[in-house]
Amino acid sequence: MPLFGAHVSAAGSLDLAPDNAKQLGCEVFQFFSRSPRGGPSKPITKEVADQFKGKIKEFGMESYIHAPYYINFASSNDRISHGSTNAIREELERGTALGVKYVMTHLGSSKDLGPTTAIKQTIDRIKTIFIKPGKWTTKLLLENSAGAGGVVGANFEELGQIIDGVGEDIGICLDTCHLFASGYAIRTPEEISDILKLVNNYITLDKIKLLHANDSKFELGEHKDRHDDIGNGKLGVNAFKHLMANKTFAKVNWILETPGGEERQKEDLALLKKVRDIK
């Protein structure tokens, strides 16, 4: 069965993220290793890395890095597209230093280049990351988008094209709110089964490595990336129960990125654990 966690703050020092996760009741956790809005990353000292790795070992937690928001492999501005490549290389290096399992990233927008060229450039830029790979133990995951405003990776066909084109050992992180916003119904066992058939057609199920568990403020197919707390949105609690009962989604860990704050996330984590632990 899955382990549950949330995106937590690493403000002040990266080695505080495991403490924040434990306080929240996380079994796994996600964090930013640098400012998500831009600027240079702060070097990770050996002391901070040792403290971080010591805590995740003590707490028995896996951890994941979310890449900065500004990543756009499909930008017509070379500074942005190549800068995105460099940033992801750095995140894989930083993740390896900290003992993090995955770095996940959004892919960017096709507005500048149009869908076909945007996919081609995205493949080229991601390939560049791996031209001279470091001895990375952290793996790269691509996150599906909500399909708003011509973003890259809003459907399984595009994600499959990119993964096949890159030809490296990369996986995907599926976000439930983004799936729903993109028009993929996931509220019943039958709908979830149908979605996984599509995934298997274009990507294969073994590429699903992580789930972002978020309810949606908007209805199916509205292409609006607005997360909601579990049970407060248009997906509802039962959708998450059905996802948990599915053998594919029961094999991967879940991360909350819900907006209700720490107390509400504690409630959501407790709810998910309760459903999971019912015999």
The phi, psi pair for 172, rounded to 5°, reads: -130, 150
SS3 14: helix
pLDDT value of residue 7 = 98
Give the pLDDT score at 279. 53
Q: In this structure, what DSSP letter does residue 29 have? A: E
- Using DSSP's 3-state secondary structure scheme, residue 172 falls into strand
Q: How far apart are CA 90 and CA 103, in angstroms?
A: 10
Q: At what angle do helices 46-59 and 78-98 cross, to 10 degrees?
A: 60
- pLDDT above 70 covers a percentage of the chain that reads 100
pLDDT: which is higher, 147 or 13: 13
3.50.50.60, 3.20.20.150, 3.40.50.2020, 3.10.105.10: CATH of 4-277: 3.20.20.150
Question: Band of the pLDDT at 168, cuts 50, 70, 90?
Answer: very high
Can you read off the two tokens belonging to residue 165? Answer: 């084109």
Mean pLDDT of 238-242: 97
State the pLDDT at residue 133.
Answer: 75
What pLDDT, on the 0 to 100 scale, is given for residue 178? 96
Concatenating the DSSP letter of every residue in 177-240 gives: HHHHHTT---SSHHHHHHHHHHHHHHT-GGGEEEEEE-EESS-TT-----EE-TTTSSS-HHHH
Residue 147 pLDDT exceeds 90: no
What is the residue-averaged pLDDT of the chain? 95
Beta strands at 28-31 and 62-66: parallel, antiparallel or unpaired: parallel
pLDDT for the residue 67: 97
- Give 75-98 pLDDT, tens digit per residue: 999 999 999 999 999 999 999 999
Q: Are 182 and 145 in contact (CB under 8 A)?
A: yes
99-122 per-position pLDDT tens digit: 999 999 999 999 999 999 999 999
High-pLDDT (> 90) share of the chain, %: 91
